[in-house]
Amino acid sequence: MTPFDKFLQLLISGWRLDVVILGKIGALILLLIFLIFSLVVVRQVDLMARTIHTQLDKPLKIAAYCLTILAAGAFILGLCIL
């Protein structure tokens, strides 16, 4: 095997590892963005509940908090698995 062949083999094996690592980092960044989005939803639901008083205030708050718990759980699970 020539040195050029060894270099090409190194490039091919190295790119595969880099793509996997970049994919994992990208997935974690997307999960973090989802977690931040869920916190924004909680804030918006709270502002809406202070502005407009309806019968749906409590169910919407519960749904927003459940979304935040789900997003946090997904992010933690992503950290453990990835």
Q: Alpha-carbon distance 50 to 44, whole Å? A: 10
Residue 8's pLDDT is 79
- Is residue 7 in a domain? no
- Take residue 16 and report the two structure tokens written for it: 């595969």
- Is residue 21 in a domain? no
- Is residue 68 in a domain? yes
Residue pLDDT, tens place only, 21-67: 888 999 999 999 999 999 999 999 999 999 999 999 999 999 999 99
- Is residue 74 in a domain? yes
Q: What whole-number percentage of the chain has pLDDT above 70?
A: 95
- Is residue 81 in a domain? yes
Residue 22's pLDDT is 86
Q: How many domains does the chain have?
A: 1
- Is residue 10 in a domain? no
Residue 14's pLDDT is 67
**Full residue range of the structural domain in which residue 79 is found:** 52-82
- Is residue 75 in a domain? yes
- Is residue 69 in a domain? yes
